[in-house]
Amino acid sequence: MNMLKRRHFHIGDIESCVLCTAQDKETIGHLIFNCPFSQTCWSKIGISYNSTISRIEATIRAKEIYSDRLFFEIFTITAWNIWKERNNFIFNQISPSHRAWLERTKVDLTWLTYRVSPDLSDYITSLVNSL
Ligand SMILES: [Zn+2]
């Protein structure tokens, strides 16, 4: 939203994050990393972000903590589904829900099992079952 405003798009008065009631501006940093809604999603997937460090450093630390060959695939699927949750509200007036986010994330993770080696596929299946 803040990017559209900066580019002089006419988006009305909507500028705050639609995933939370914090009334924070919807920046990419807030939406994906700092929003309470998103932080619950990251926590569910087993990744925690510390808001006192940069996003890049936080991602590197998360990768080290996570120590997994699939970190960036899991990271991308998590962030993508946070984005989709936001878009479902904006374009389809569907209220944000952790349950909906989780179900889509599980489906996308399951699709990932078809693209990886059998050992990683088993790992993903176990991850999905643990969510
Ligand atoms: Zn928010």
Q: pLDDT for 24-55, tens place per residue?
A: 778 888 888 889 999 999 989 887 766 677 77
- Res 14 pLDDT > 80: no
Arithmetic mean of pLDDT, 1-18: 69
Please state whether 105 falls in left (phi above 0), alpha (psi between -120 and 50) or beta: alpha
Residue found by looking up tokens 């510390």 in the block: 50
Q: How far does residue 120's CA lie from ligand 1's centre (Å)? A: 33
Q: Residue 60 has what pLDDT? A: 80
Which band of pLDDT confidence, cut at 50, 70 and 90, is reported for residue 12?
low
Distance 91 CA to ligand 1 centre (A): 17
Q: Could you tell me the distance, in angstroms and rounded to a whole number, from the CA of residue 6 to the centre of ligand 1?
A: 19
Q: Residue 108's pLDDT is what?
A: 96
Domain of residue 40 covers 2-130
Give the chain's domain count: 1
Whole-angstrom CA distances from 49 to 31, 43, 55, 84, 112 are 13, 9, 8, 20, 24
- State both tokens at 62: 């998360």
Dihedral angle of Cα 89, 85, 40, 12, to the nearest 10 degrees: -40
